[in-house]
Amino acid sequence: MADIDKNRRSFLSRIAALLGGLAVFEAGWIGATFLGPRRSRAALRDGPGVQVAGPVERFEPGSVTAFRDGHFYLVRLDDGGFLALHRKCTHLGCTVPWIEDEQRFTCPCHASAFDMRGDVISAPAVRALELFAVSIDNGVVKVDTNNLIRRSSFESQQVTRA
């Protein structure tokens, strides 16, 4: 009987040591992840890089088209220029939907609102929506989702023209 108790204690000691070692390993992993270098914004995004939006004629002046894969809205302004607006609110990062009836982006989290150009029209956000670079090659609109362009407000040189 004493032999069975000894084997049971030995087995339980090994299990306890294994679980303790696993806990120490997990704590070390969490600490290393927390203290290690941060990945860049581009590495955190799962965007496909340069995304072909389509031919210029596909987008009517004064329209907003959502691109879910690229996490942006392609805006064609009334004057024919293009902007690619990031879908995240600059206040706390909630996804902002385009409200066609109101002609604005409205954040569902804290009610920030942005006009078609991404400018703030209602706080608490204080910066305009971020941009992605737009290029037009042979009549085809392309958006580079690798790099976000941070801005404080709309400026005319941010527009890409056909």
Could you tell me if 82 and 159 are in contact, meaning their C-beta atoms sit under 8 angstroms apart? yes
Whether residue 117 is predicted with pLDDT greater than 80 in this model: the reply is yes
- pLDDT tens digits along 18-58: 888 888 888 887 877 777 665 544 443 444 689 999 999 99
In whole angstroms, give the CA distance from residue 23 to residue 111.
Answer: 43
Burial category of 108 from C-beta neighbours within 10 Å (exposed 0-12, middle 13-18, buried 19 and up): exposed
Report DSSP state, residue 18: H
- pLDDT tens digits along 80-101: 999 999 999 999 999 999 999 9
Strands (E), 1-160: 50-55, 63-67, 72-76, 82-86, 98-99, 104-106, 113-114, 120-122, 131-137, 140-149
- Confidence bin at 11 (pLDDT 50/70/90): confident
Phi/psi for 58 (5° steps) reads -65, -25
Whether residue 132 is predicted with pLDDT greater than 50 in this model: the reply is yes
Paired strand residues for 99 = 104
Could you tell me if 153 and 119 are in contact, meaning their C-beta atoms sit under 8 angstroms apart? yes
Q: Given 2.102.10.10, 3.30.930.10, 2.60.200.20, 2.30.110.10, which CATH number is that of 42-158?
A: 2.102.10.10
In whole angstroms, give the CA distance from residue 136 to residue 14.
Answer: 66
Could you tell me if 104 and 120 are in contact, meaning their C-beta atoms sit under 8 angstroms apart? no
Pairing of strands 131-137, 120-122: unpaired
Gyration radius from the chain CA atoms = 26
pTM of the model: 0.70
Domain ranges for the chain, please list them. Answer: 1-36, 42-158
Paired strand residues for 133 = 144
pLDDT score of 45: 40
pLDDT score of 37: 66
